[in-house]
A and B are shown apart, each in its own frame.
Chain A
């Protein structure tokens, strides 16, 4: 109970206390330092009292300070999970863990944050001082750890991390993430010999009983060859393995228990062949057969030897037609499949994957060398009740040439590509990219189609009709050049001799998105990016084609009501011609489609209906 007002009370305390410190007898003449110290102690004590009063004030005025401990811990954990390391304001040049700011807001927050071991369990070793690393390990108590090393050229693995810090806690490391950035190849090791950090941590990783996720990312130089020591004896609970430019010994037993596998190779060095680091089809198929729990699979740049004969591969059978057919591979948990720049044989085997109907599949299939084999693969996953959530077929700009070459060079006919080409009921394909051939695709009930970066010329009208006859809405986006716009526009024109045959009879909105519709489109010899089989177009030809399209459709009773075309300086010339046939014309600002995938992943109306509210 405070009997007097605060002013009177504290003044009274002051007058009682301070004179004691003023007694000259307390200190000798040469003992002023003691006097200073005593006064500092008094100030410190007063500060503590003030701090306590302010904490009470916070409790009253700032409800967030007084949220329950578990709620504040939850808030802090969300902040910690998404905060980037930041420079310490008190120590120039030193980088601190980003969420540390919450410990500096008020006393209660600090107490709660310091006492929550989970907050300290994600340790970005290369971003913070070794001392802070040690402190974080100490504060993390006994909870599972997530360790990250982002290795830079000027960063040397602290000896303590390798020798004294990691070994004692390796049994509770749940996630280990090592990134080799900015040409720090010498840290991970550029050759088969001496992958420094990997080598030193390898034996520890093998004995990491709690390790569930291992990510090794080398972005520089030749592949890092992972030592057998990492995988030979474990880790027993490893579920996720993410490798970039790190060669994997594929025959390791621990791979069979993986739930997530991602291997990206930028190049395969010649000395990898004939080694355990080179995945043969037999090895990969055998491995996948033992991984029914696999949920995500990403393979980038994983090649088989083109000379490898399919007859030598297990799990293939010969059809009456004489073709080879891969046996079924059941991946009952697979929800995401990304196969990019992989060999034709891999694609052939992927056509035999059986995945659950209910899974949300995200397929990103890309081939720099082959496109045709993607079709049966796509068809395999696009059955009537099995539409993928997102499908990206990505053939690169130079695929046309490569396609021809590869058809000659590789024994594609060995595989049964006639399987499962039936996608009539697929209505959710909205992200095709660069289809250079539509042979065999039947997408009769398609309602949304987004074509990005399409190839010119070889879009046979009959194939369009067969494949997309019932589409009601079509968007075309072109990253380079404008050939696809022309190709589609031409395809949309009804044939005079076959008036009953019309592509997209229900189409009433046509939206063209292009980057270059102006005359500034460079000619081929000025634009080395365009391959020699690319048609060089300018807005004149495109608008000609579009005008012909809308005019003819209008004439035949299939008018386009709404037309979106990019704005150009010739706009005025075209308005008059087009508005006779189209009710609404929108001249959009030209979009610079630098990344076609932005469009691919753009929300598509109607898809929301398919998704749960979360």
Chain B
């Protein structure tokens, strides 16, 4: 859970048609964003519900950098007001639907950035973004051999020789 600190109401206007939230990144950058934009995040929504219960406005501290946070905000801004099936808790999980074109461009980043975004999306409970990132990572490794996957992802073989040379039996009982 993030640390929540009280903030001055003058910093974060709390009432009105477009309420604002103050998000604080791990590198201590303060980012003001409209609540509407971040409503796609279940985590943020729950925080906001908490504000309303206590009648207090808070800044929300998040455990990732402003760079990553800004990417997430960019995503949420783009889909502001749109219904995305993946974010509907009542909807069945989407099957093999293709990656949205905009998402493809949005996620055209290096591997480390992609991993940071997916972790942030997971933390913020933005299922659609997690799904898009997961698709992007799946695309990176689909059809690759084990060695190629390890090389692409920077993973070391941590199997014992016995496990390594009998993977089929290990996987299939």
Taking beta carbons and an 8 Å cutoff, which residues of A are in contact with B? 44, 47-48, 50-52, 54-55, 57-58, 61-65, 67-68, 70-71, 74-79, 81-84, 86, 88-91, 96, 98, 100-107, 110, 113-114, 131-132, 135, 138, 612-614
- Please name all residues of chain B whose beta carbon is closer than 8 Å to the beta carbon of A77 when the two chains form the complex: 134
B156 touching A90 by the CB < 8 A rule? no
- Please name all residues of chain B whose beta carbon is closer than 8 Å to the beta carbon of A83 when the two chains form the complex: 142-143
Residue of A nearest to B111 (CB): A64
Q: Which of A81, A114, A614 has the most CB of B within 10 A?
A: A614
B156 touching A54 by the CB < 8 A rule? yes
A613 touching B134 by the CB < 8 A rule? no
Q: Which of B67-120 contact A (CB under 8 A)?
A: 78-79, 82, 84, 95-96, 100, 102, 111-112, 115, 118-119
A44 to B163, CA, bound (A): 10
- Please name all residues of chain B whose beta carbon is closer than 8 Å to the beta carbon of A105 when the two chains form the complex: 146, 149-150, 153, 155
- Please name all residues of chain A whose beta carbon is closer than 8 Å to the beta carbon of B111 when the two chains form the complex: 64
- Please name all residues of chain A whose beta carbon is closer than 8 Å to the beta carbon of B102 when the two chains form the complex: 613-614
Minimum CB–CB distance for A158 against chain B, Å: 16
Which of A62, A90, A100, A132 touches B154 (beta carbons < 8 Å)?
Answer: A62
Whether A58 touches B137, Cβ cut-off 8 Å, given contacts A71-B118, A613-B100, is no
B168 touching A57 by the CB < 8 A rule? no
A50 to B158, CA, bound (A): 8
- Please name all residues of chain B whose beta carbon is closer than 8 Å to the beta carbon of A81 when the two chains form the complex: 95-96
B155 touching A64 by the CB < 8 A rule? yes
Whether A100 touches B171, Cβ cut-off 8 Å, given contacts A58-B158, A75-B137, is yes
- Please name all residues of chain A whose beta carbon is closer than 8 Å to the beta carbon of B82 when the two chains form the complex: 612-614
Which of B122, B131, B160, B163 touches A68 (beta carbons < 8 Å)?
Answer: B122
Whether A51 touches B159, Cβ cut-off 8 Å, given contacts A67-B119, A68-B122, A82-B96, is yes
- Please name all residues of chain B whose beta carbon is closer than 8 Å to the beta carbon of A90 when the two chains form the complex: 165-168
Minimum CB–CB distance for B94 against chain A, Å: 10
Whether A67 touches B160, Cβ cut-off 8 Å, given contacts A62-B154, A613-B102, is no
B134 touching A98 by the CB < 8 A rule? no
* B162 part of interface (Cβ distance < 8 Å): yes
Q: List 24 A-B contacts (CB under 8 A).
A: A44-B160, A47-B161, A54-B156, A57-B158, A61-B156, A63-B119, A68-B119, A68-B122, A74-B130, A77-B134, A78-B134, A78-B135, A82-B96, A82-B138, A84-B143, A90-B166, A91-B168, A101-B145, A103-B170, A104-B146, A107-B163, A613-B78, A613-B102, A614-B82
* B16 part of interface (Cβ distance < 8 Å): no
B160 touching A48 by the CB < 8 A rule? yes
A614 touching B118 by the CB < 8 A rule? no
Minimum CB–CB distance for A62 against chain B, Å: 4
- In the complex, the number of residue pairs spanning A and B with C-beta atoms less than 8 Å apart equals 134
* B7 part of interface (Cβ distance < 8 Å): no
A106 to B78, CA, bound (A): 36
B100 touching A106 by the CB < 8 A rule? no
Whether A106 touches B142, Cβ cut-off 8 Å, given contacts A47-B161, A613-B79, is no
- Please name all residues of chain A whose beta carbon is closer than 8 Å to the beta carbon of B150 when the two chains form the complex: 105-106
Minimum CB–CB distance for A340 against chain B, Å: 24
Whether A131 touches B172, Cβ cut-off 8 Å, given contacts A74-B134, A79-B142, A83-B143, is yes
Minimum CB–CB distance for B53 against chain A, Å: 28
Interchain residue pairs A-B with the least CB separation, the first 10: A78-B138, A54-B158, A47-B160, A74-B134, A55-B158, A135-B172, A104-B146, A614-B100, A62-B155, A75-B134
B149 touching A101 by the CB < 8 A rule? yes
B143 touching A98 by the CB < 8 A rule? yes
- Please name all residues of chain A whose beta carbon is closer than 8 Å to the beta carbon of B167 when the two chains form the complex: 90, 103-104
- Please name all residues of chain A whose beta carbon is closer than 8 Å to the beta carbon of B138 when the two chains form the complex: 75-76, 78-79, 82
Minimum CB–CB distance for A434 against chain B, Å: 30
Which of A75, A101, A106, A613 touches B155 (beta carbons < 8 Å)?
Answer: A106
- Please name all residues of chain B whose beta carbon is closer than 8 Å to the beta carbon of A110 when the two chains form the complex: 170-171
Whether A135 touches B173, Cβ cut-off 8 Å, given contacts A102-B141, A102-B149, is yes
* B30 part of interface (Cβ distance < 8 Å): no
A88 to B165, CA, bound (A): 12
- Please name all residues of chain B whose beta carbon is closer than 8 Å to the beta carbon of A68 when the two chains form the complex: 119, 122
A432 to B161, CA, bound (A): 62
B145 touching A138 by the CB < 8 A rule? no
A54 to B150, CA, bound (A): 13
- Please name all residues of chain B whose beta carbon is closer than 8 Å to the beta carbon of A98 when the two chains form the complex: 143
Residue of A nearest to B139 (CB): A78
Minimum CB–CB distance for B74 against chain A, Å: 13
- Please name all residues of chain A whose beta carbon is closer than 8 Å to the beta carbon of B157 when the two chains form the complex: 54, 106
A525 to B170, CA, bound (A): 65
A225 to B164, CA, bound (A): 49
Residue of A nearest to B79 (CB): A613
* B46 part of interface (Cβ distance < 8 Å): no
A571 to B170, CA, bound (A): 66
Which of A44, A52, A96, A101 touches B162 (beta carbons < 8 Å)?
Answer: A44
A130 to B150, CA, bound (A): 30
A76 to B171, CA, bound (A): 15
Residue of A nearest to B148 (CB): A101
Whether A103 touches B171, Cβ cut-off 8 Å, given contacts A71-B130, A74-B131, A89-B145, is yes
Minimum CB–CB distance for B20 against chain A, Å: 25
Whether A58 touches B168, Cβ cut-off 8 Å, given contacts A47-B162, A614-B82, is no
Whether A107 touches B158, Cβ cut-off 8 Å, given contacts A78-B134, A114-B171, is yes
A614 touching B155 by the CB < 8 A rule? no
* B19 part of interface (Cβ distance < 8 Å): no
- Please name all residues of chain B whose beta carbon is closer than 8 Å to the beta carbon of A84 when the two chains form the complex: 143
Whether A96 touches B118, Cβ cut-off 8 Å, given contacts A51-B160, A101-B149, is no
Minimum CB–CB distance for A114 against chain B, Å: 7
- Please name all residues of chain B whose beta carbon is closer than 8 Å to the beta carbon of A71 when the two chains form the complex: 118-119, 122, 130, 134
B173 touching A138 by the CB < 8 A rule? yes
* B29 part of interface (Cβ distance < 8 Å): no
A51 touching B158 by the CB < 8 A rule? yes
A101 touching B137 by the CB < 8 A rule? no
- Please name all residues of chain A whose beta carbon is closer than 8 Å to the beta carbon of B161 when the two chains form the complex: 47
- Please name all residues of chain A whose beta carbon is closer than 8 Å to the beta carbon of B137 when the two chains form the complex: 64, 75
A71 to B141, CA, bound (A): 15
A62 to B137, CA, bound (A): 14
B153 touching A62 by the CB < 8 A rule? yes
A105 to B156, CA, bound (A): 8
Q: Which of B95, B142, B149 has the most CB of A within 10 A?
A: B142
A301 to B55, CA, bound (A): 67
A81 to B170, CA, bound (A): 22
Residue of B nearest to A90 (CB): B168
A185 to B84, CA, bound (A): 44
- Please name all residues of chain B whose beta carbon is closer than 8 Å to the beta carbon of A88 when the two chains form the complex: 168
A227 to B159, CA, bound (A): 51
A89 to B162, CA, bound (A): 16
A1 to B132, CA, bound (A): 42
